[in-house]
Structure 1
Protein backbone atom coordinates (compact mmCIF):
# COMPACT_ATOMS: atom_id res chain seq x y z
CA UNK A 1 0.00 0.00 0.00
CA UNK A 2 2.79 2.43 0.93
CA UNK A 3 4.52 1.64 -2.37
CA UNK A 4 1.37 2.78 -4.19
CA UNK A 5 1.07 5.97 -2.15
CA UNK A 6 4.73 7.01 -2.33
CA UNK A 7 4.62 8.55 -5.85
CA UNK A 8 1.48 10.48 -4.91
CA UNK A 9 3.05 11.72 -1.68
CA UNK A 10 6.20 12.83 -3.53
CA UNK A 11 4.09 14.67 -6.11
CA UNK A 12 2.08 16.29 -3.31
CA UNK A 13 5.26 17.40 -1.51
CA UNK A 14 6.55 19.07 -4.71
CA UNK A 15 3.16 20.66 -5.46
CA UNK A 16 2.63 21.92 -1.92
CA UNK A 17 6.17 23.23 -1.49
CA UNK A 18 6.94 20.72 1.26
CA UNK A 19 10.47 19.36 1.04
CA UNK A 20 11.53 16.02 2.41
CA UNK A 21 14.70 15.33 4.36
CA UNK A 22 16.26 13.59 1.35
CA UNK A 23 15.51 16.60 -0.87
CA UNK A 24 17.13 18.93 1.68
CA UNK A 25 20.29 16.81 1.83
CA UNK A 26 20.63 16.49 -1.96
CA UNK A 27 22.57 19.73 -2.52
CA UNK A 28 26.33 19.73 -2.06
CA UNK A 29 27.52 22.51 0.25
CA UNK A 30 30.75 24.24 -0.77
CA UNK A 31 33.89 23.93 1.37
CA UNK A 32 37.27 25.65 1.37
CA UNK A 33 39.44 23.95 -1.25
CA UNK A 34 36.62 23.24 -3.71
CA UNK A 35 36.97 24.36 -7.32
CA UNK A 36 33.92 25.90 -9.02
CA UNK A 37 33.27 27.29 -12.50
CA UNK A 38 31.28 30.53 -12.50
CA UNK A 39 29.82 31.96 -15.70
CA UNK A 40 27.34 34.63 -16.69
CA UNK A 41 25.22 33.94 -19.77
CA UNK A 42 26.05 36.18 -22.76
CA UNK A 43 29.02 37.68 -20.90
CA UNK A 44 32.13 36.03 -22.34
CA UNK A 45 34.47 37.96 -20.05
CA UNK A 46 32.63 36.67 -16.96
CA UNK A 47 33.58 32.99 -17.10
CA UNK A 48 36.12 31.78 -14.62
CA UNK A 49 37.24 28.73 -12.69
CA UNK A 50 37.74 29.79 -9.07
CA UNK A 51 38.97 28.11 -5.90
CA UNK A 52 37.13 28.45 -2.62
CA UNK A 53 39.76 30.06 -0.41
CA UNK A 54 40.62 28.89 3.13
CA UNK A 55 38.36 31.62 4.54
CA UNK A 56 35.41 30.18 2.55
CA UNK A 57 35.25 32.92 -0.06
CA UNK A 58 35.79 33.28 -3.80
CA UNK A 59 36.78 36.27 -5.90
CA UNK A 60 34.87 37.04 -9.09
CA UNK A 61 35.15 39.99 -11.50
CA UNK A 62 32.83 42.96 -10.78
CA UNK A 63 31.59 41.22 -7.65
CA UNK A 64 34.80 40.97 -5.63
CA UNK A 65 35.01 38.66 -2.64
CA UNK A 66 31.94 36.54 -1.85
CA UNK A 67 31.58 34.13 1.09
CA UNK A 68 30.36 30.79 -0.28
CA UNK A 69 31.38 28.09 2.23
CA UNK A 70 28.33 26.26 3.53
CA UNK A 71 26.18 27.35 0.57
CA UNK A 72 24.97 25.22 -2.33
CA UNK A 73 25.54 26.29 -5.94
CA UNK A 74 22.05 27.73 -6.43
CA UNK A 75 22.50 30.01 -3.40
CA UNK A 76 25.88 31.17 -4.77
CA UNK A 77 24.29 31.82 -8.17
CA UNK A 78 21.65 34.05 -6.56
CA UNK A 79 24.24 35.85 -4.42
CA UNK A 80 26.50 36.63 -7.39
CA UNK A 81 23.53 37.61 -9.59
CA UNK A 82 22.32 40.06 -6.96
CA UNK A 83 25.75 41.71 -6.81
CA UNK A 84 26.01 41.82 -10.62
CA UNK A 85 22.64 43.59 -11.04
CA UNK A 86 24.46 46.88 -10.49
CA UNK A 87 26.40 46.28 -13.74
CA UNK A 88 24.27 43.85 -15.80
CA UNK A 89 20.46 43.87 -16.01
CA UNK A 90 18.94 40.54 -14.94
CA UNK A 91 22.18 38.47 -14.98
CA UNK A 92 21.88 34.73 -15.50
CA UNK A 93 24.65 33.17 -13.36
CA UNK A 94 25.72 29.53 -13.41
CA UNK A 95 27.93 27.90 -10.77
CA UNK A 96 29.19 24.35 -11.30
CA UNK A 97 31.36 22.33 -8.91
CA UNK A 98 34.37 21.19 -10.92
CA UNK A 99 36.32 19.51 -8.13
CA UNK A 100 35.08 18.94 -4.57
CA UNK A 101 38.63 19.03 -3.16
CA UNK A 102 37.38 20.54 0.10
CA UNK A 103 35.16 17.55 0.86
CA UNK A 104 37.69 15.97 3.22
CA UNK A 105 37.65 14.18 6.55
CA UNK A 106 40.71 13.23 8.55
CA UNK A 107 41.75 9.95 10.15
CA UNK A 108 44.39 10.28 12.83
CA UNK A 109 45.98 8.12 15.45
CA UNK A 110 46.39 4.37 15.31
CA UNK A 111 45.17 3.67 11.79
CA UNK A 112 47.38 2.17 9.10
CA UNK A 113 47.27 5.25 6.84
CA UNK A 114 46.54 8.41 8.85
CA UNK A 115 45.73 11.57 6.93
CA UNK A 116 43.00 13.11 4.85
CA UNK A 117 40.31 11.07 3.12
CA UNK A 118 38.44 12.50 0.12
CA UNK A 119 34.68 11.94 0.37
CA UNK A 120 33.00 11.02 -2.91
CA UNK A 121 29.53 10.70 -1.40
CA UNK A 122 27.87 9.86 1.90
CA UNK A 123 30.57 8.10 3.94
CA UNK A 124 30.30 6.59 7.42
CA UNK A 125 32.86 5.90 10.17
CA UNK A 126 33.48 2.27 9.19
CA UNK A 127 34.06 3.27 5.57
CA UNK A 128 36.65 5.91 6.52
CA UNK A 129 38.39 3.43 8.81
CA UNK A 130 38.58 1.06 5.87
CA UNK A 131 39.93 3.81 3.56
CA UNK A 132 42.55 4.57 6.22
CA UNK A 133 43.76 0.97 6.02
CA UNK A 134 42.03 -0.27 9.15
CA UNK A 135 43.11 -0.14 12.77
CA UNK A 136 46.66 -0.60 14.00
CA UNK A 137 47.07 -3.62 16.28
CA UNK A 138 47.61 -1.30 19.27
CA UNK A 139 44.48 0.81 18.65
CA UNK A 140 42.03 1.39 21.50
CA UNK A 141 38.92 0.13 19.70
CA UNK A 142 36.53 1.49 22.29
CA UNK A 143 38.18 4.93 22.51
CA UNK A 144 37.46 5.94 18.91
CA UNK A 145 35.66 9.25 18.47
CA UNK A 146 34.57 11.72 15.82
CA UNK A 147 35.49 15.36 16.41
CA UNK A 148 33.04 17.69 14.66
CA UNK A 149 33.59 21.39 15.28
CA UNK A 150 33.56 21.57 19.09
CA UNK A 151 31.57 18.37 19.53
CA UNK A 152 32.97 14.92 20.35
CA UNK A 153 30.94 11.89 19.22
CA UNK A 154 31.93 8.52 20.75
CA UNK A 155 32.15 5.54 18.38
CA UNK A 156 31.30 2.12 19.79
CA UNK A 157 33.50 0.09 17.46
CA UNK A 158 32.83 -3.31 19.06
CA UNK A 159 29.07 -2.81 18.57
CA UNK A 160 29.60 -1.72 14.95
CA UNK A 161 31.79 -4.68 14.03
CA UNK A 162 29.45 -7.16 15.72
CA UNK A 163 26.41 -5.55 14.10
CA UNK A 164 24.67 -5.17 17.48
CA UNK A 165 24.21 -1.41 17.27
CA UNK A 166 24.99 0.73 14.23
CA UNK A 167 23.90 4.02 15.79
CA UNK A 168 27.48 5.29 16.18
CA UNK A 169 28.43 4.59 12.55
CA UNK A 170 27.98 8.33 11.95
CA UNK A 171 27.84 9.75 8.46
CA UNK A 172 30.89 11.98 8.36
CA UNK A 173 30.85 15.59 7.20
CA UNK A 174 33.58 17.66 5.55
CA UNK A 175 36.05 18.75 8.20
CA UNK A 176 35.34 15.90 10.65
CA UNK A 177 38.30 14.19 12.32
CA UNK A 178 38.16 10.50 13.21
CA UNK A 179 40.46 9.96 16.19
CA UNK A 180 41.74 6.45 16.97
CA UNK A 181 43.79 6.43 20.20
Structure 2
Protein backbone atom coordinates (compact mmCIF):
# COMPACT_ATOMS: atom_id res chain seq x y z
CA UNK A 1 0.00 0.00 0.00
CA UNK A 2 2.69 2.47 1.05
CA UNK A 3 4.85 1.39 -1.88
CA UNK A 4 1.98 2.14 -4.30
CA UNK A 5 1.39 5.55 -2.77
CA UNK A 6 5.08 6.46 -2.92
CA UNK A 7 5.38 5.18 -6.50
CA UNK A 8 2.31 7.21 -7.49
CA UNK A 9 3.67 10.37 -5.91
CA UNK A 10 7.06 9.88 -7.59
CA UNK A 11 5.34 9.44 -10.96
CA UNK A 12 3.22 12.51 -10.31
CA UNK A 13 6.23 14.66 -9.54
CA UNK A 14 8.32 13.24 -12.38
CA UNK A 15 5.81 13.90 -15.16
CA UNK A 16 6.34 17.03 -17.24
CA UNK A 17 3.25 19.25 -17.19
CA UNK A 18 2.66 18.75 -20.92
CA UNK A 19 2.11 15.02 -20.42
CA UNK A 20 -0.70 15.39 -17.92
CA UNK A 21 -2.47 18.39 -19.38
CA UNK A 22 -4.25 18.70 -22.68
CA UNK A 23 -4.23 22.48 -22.56
CA UNK A 24 -1.36 24.77 -23.44
CA UNK A 25 -1.65 26.66 -20.19
CA UNK A 26 -2.26 25.99 -16.53
CA UNK A 27 -4.33 29.17 -16.33
CA UNK A 28 -7.67 28.73 -14.58
CA UNK A 29 -10.68 28.54 -16.90
CA UNK A 30 -14.04 29.83 -15.70
CA UNK A 31 -16.88 27.34 -15.17
CA UNK A 32 -20.61 27.62 -14.47
CA UNK A 33 -21.12 28.40 -10.78
CA UNK A 34 -17.90 30.40 -10.41
CA UNK A 35 -18.31 33.72 -8.61
CA UNK A 36 -16.73 36.82 -10.16
CA UNK A 37 -16.04 40.37 -9.07
CA UNK A 38 -15.99 42.64 -12.13
CA UNK A 39 -14.95 46.26 -11.79
CA UNK A 40 -14.29 49.08 -14.23
CA UNK A 41 -11.89 51.80 -13.10
CA UNK A 42 -13.66 55.14 -12.50
CA UNK A 43 -17.04 53.57 -13.36
CA UNK A 44 -18.33 52.37 -9.99
CA UNK A 45 -21.87 51.89 -11.29
CA UNK A 46 -20.50 49.04 -13.45
CA UNK A 47 -18.88 47.15 -10.56
CA UNK A 48 -20.68 43.83 -10.09
CA UNK A 49 -20.49 40.53 -8.25
CA UNK A 50 -21.76 37.86 -10.63
CA UNK A 51 -22.10 34.11 -10.86
CA UNK A 52 -21.36 32.32 -14.14
CA UNK A 53 -24.75 30.94 -15.20
CA UNK A 54 -25.36 27.22 -15.88
CA UNK A 55 -25.18 27.90 -19.64
CA UNK A 56 -21.70 29.43 -19.14
CA UNK A 57 -22.69 33.05 -19.72
CA UNK A 58 -22.76 36.17 -17.58
CA UNK A 59 -25.05 39.16 -17.99
CA UNK A 60 -23.27 42.51 -17.72
CA UNK A 61 -24.58 46.11 -18.06
CA UNK A 62 -24.12 47.74 -21.49
CA UNK A 63 -22.74 44.47 -22.84
CA UNK A 64 -25.54 41.94 -22.42
CA UNK A 65 -24.81 38.22 -22.31
CA UNK A 66 -21.20 37.13 -22.74
CA UNK A 67 -19.79 33.59 -22.74
CA UNK A 68 -17.51 33.29 -19.71
CA UNK A 69 -17.14 29.51 -19.29
CA UNK A 70 -13.93 28.21 -20.78
CA UNK A 71 -12.29 31.66 -20.73
CA UNK A 72 -9.57 32.83 -18.37
CA UNK A 73 -10.28 35.91 -16.25
CA UNK A 74 -7.77 37.82 -18.39
CA UNK A 75 -9.55 36.92 -21.64
CA UNK A 76 -12.91 37.91 -20.12
CA UNK A 77 -11.41 41.28 -19.05
CA UNK A 78 -10.35 41.99 -22.64
CA UNK A 79 -13.69 40.86 -24.05
CA UNK A 80 -15.67 43.12 -21.70
CA UNK A 81 -13.31 46.04 -22.36
CA UNK A 82 -13.84 45.67 -26.12
CA UNK A 83 -17.63 45.79 -25.68
CA UNK A 84 -17.45 48.74 -23.26
CA UNK A 85 -15.26 50.85 -25.62
CA UNK A 86 -18.47 51.74 -27.41
CA UNK A 87 -19.59 53.62 -24.28
CA UNK A 88 -16.42 54.39 -22.26
CA UNK A 89 -13.06 55.75 -23.40
CA UNK A 90 -10.29 53.19 -22.76
CA UNK A 91 -12.12 51.12 -20.12
CA UNK A 92 -9.91 49.42 -17.52
CA UNK A 93 -11.72 46.19 -16.64
CA UNK A 94 -10.73 43.89 -13.81
CA UNK A 95 -12.15 40.37 -13.35
CA UNK A 96 -11.42 38.53 -10.11
CA UNK A 97 -12.54 34.99 -9.37
CA UNK A 98 -13.84 35.06 -5.80
CA UNK A 99 -15.05 31.43 -5.65
CA UNK A 100 -14.43 28.46 -7.93
CA UNK A 101 -17.44 26.43 -6.88
CA UNK A 102 -18.21 25.30 -10.41
CA UNK A 103 -14.93 23.55 -11.16
CA UNK A 104 -15.15 20.34 -9.15
CA UNK A 105 -14.45 16.67 -9.86
CA UNK A 106 -15.34 13.81 -7.51
CA UNK A 107 -13.41 10.75 -6.33
CA UNK A 108 -15.35 7.83 -4.81
CA UNK A 109 -14.67 4.27 -3.79
CA UNK A 110 -11.52 2.77 -2.38
CA UNK A 111 -9.54 5.95 -1.67
CA UNK A 112 -8.59 7.31 1.74
CA UNK A 113 -10.44 10.64 1.38
CA UNK A 114 -13.38 10.27 -1.05
CA UNK A 115 -15.35 13.32 -2.06
CA UNK A 116 -15.11 16.50 -4.14
CA UNK A 117 -11.79 17.77 -5.50
CA UNK A 118 -11.63 21.49 -6.28
CA UNK A 119 -9.83 22.01 -9.60
CA UNK A 120 -8.26 25.45 -9.42
CA UNK A 121 -6.00 24.44 -12.34
CA UNK A 122 -5.74 21.60 -14.86
CA UNK A 123 -5.70 18.28 -13.03
CA UNK A 124 -4.95 14.72 -14.14
CA UNK A 125 -6.36 11.48 -12.74
CA UNK A 126 -3.09 10.71 -10.91
CA UNK A 127 -3.09 14.15 -9.31
CA UNK A 128 -6.73 13.80 -8.22
CA UNK A 129 -6.05 10.37 -6.71
CA UNK A 130 -3.11 11.82 -4.79
CA UNK A 131 -5.36 14.64 -3.51
CA UNK A 132 -7.86 11.97 -2.42
CA UNK A 133 -5.19 10.50 -0.15
CA UNK A 134 -4.22 7.52 -2.28
CA UNK A 135 -5.78 4.06 -2.34
CA UNK A 136 -7.09 1.88 0.46
CA UNK A 137 -5.61 -1.65 0.64
CA UNK A 138 -8.74 -2.98 -1.09
CA UNK A 139 -8.53 -0.79 -4.22
CA UNK A 140 -8.62 -2.45 -7.62
CA UNK A 141 -6.26 -0.01 -9.34
CA UNK A 142 -6.51 -1.69 -12.73
CA UNK A 143 -10.26 -1.07 -13.02
CA UNK A 144 -10.70 2.63 -12.22
CA UNK A 145 -13.28 4.48 -14.32
CA UNK A 146 -14.13 8.10 -15.01
CA UNK A 147 -17.78 8.97 -15.62
CA UNK A 148 -17.88 12.04 -17.84
CA UNK A 149 -21.09 13.85 -18.78
CA UNK A 150 -21.18 15.73 -22.07
CA UNK A 151 -24.62 17.23 -22.39
CA UNK A 152 -27.14 14.40 -22.02
CA UNK A 153 -24.54 11.76 -22.89
CA UNK A 154 -22.42 9.92 -20.32
CA UNK A 155 -19.07 8.39 -21.24
CA UNK A 156 -17.01 5.85 -19.29
CA UNK A 157 -13.24 6.31 -19.54
CA UNK A 158 -11.16 3.38 -18.26
CA UNK A 159 -8.11 4.15 -16.13
CA UNK A 160 -5.53 1.44 -15.48
CA UNK A 161 -3.46 2.99 -12.71
CA UNK A 162 -1.51 -0.27 -12.46
CA UNK A 163 -0.27 0.28 -16.04
CA UNK A 164 0.81 3.82 -15.21
CA UNK A 165 2.58 2.54 -12.10
CA UNK A 166 4.28 -0.40 -13.88
CA UNK A 167 5.68 1.34 -16.90
CA UNK A 168 4.46 4.85 -17.26
CA UNK A 169 1.59 4.20 -19.71
CA UNK A 170 0.33 7.79 -19.63
CA UNK A 171 -2.58 7.18 -22.00
CA UNK A 172 -4.61 6.35 -18.87
CA UNK A 173 -3.72 9.61 -17.10
CA UNK A 174 -6.65 11.61 -18.49
CA UNK A 175 -7.03 15.34 -17.89
CA UNK A 176 -10.11 15.91 -15.77
CA UNK A 177 -13.04 18.17 -16.60
CA UNK A 178 -15.52 19.83 -14.29
CA UNK A 179 -18.09 17.30 -13.12
CA UNK A 180 -15.98 14.19 -13.80
CA UNK A 181 -16.51 11.36 -11.32
CA UNK A 182 -13.62 8.95 -10.65
CA UNK A 183 -14.72 5.54 -9.33
CA UNK A 184 -12.08 3.36 -7.66
CA UNK A 185 -13.58 -0.14 -7.14
TM over 0.5: yes
Using a 3 Å threshold, how does the CA distance of structure 1 residues 22 and 156 change in structure 2: closer, same or farther? closer
Task: Report what 2:87 is aligned to.
Answer: 87
How high is the TM-score relative to the length of structure 1? Answer: 0.70
Deviates more, 1:42-51 or 1:107-116: 107-116
Within 5 Å, give how 1:114-129 maps onto structure 2: 114-129=114-129
Q: 2:129 and 2:145 mapped to 1: Cα distance?
A: 12
Q: CA RMSD in A?
A: 2.9
State the shift of 1:136 in Å.
4.9
TM, length-normalised to structure 2: 0.69
Structure-2 separation of matches of 1:57 and 1:78: 16
Higher relative contact order at CA 8 Å, sep ≥6: structure 1 or structure 2?
Answer: 2
Q: Distance in 2 between matches of 1:140 and 1:23?
A: 29
Post-superposition CA distance 1:100-138 (Å, at most 9, x none):
232211123444443321124343223322333444555
- 1:158 is aligned to 162
Aligned residue number for residue 38 of structure 2: 38
In the alignment, the residues of structure 2 paired with residue 61 and residue 131 of structure 1 have an alpha-carbon distance, to the nearest angstrom, of: 40
Work out whether 1:178 is the aligned partner of 2:179: no
Quote the offset at 1:76 in angstroms.
Answer: 1.5
| Partners of 2:168 and 2:22 in 1: CA distance | 26
Task: State the number of aligned residues.
Answer: 161
Q: Which ranges of structure 2 fall in alignment gaps of 5 or more residues?
A: 1-20
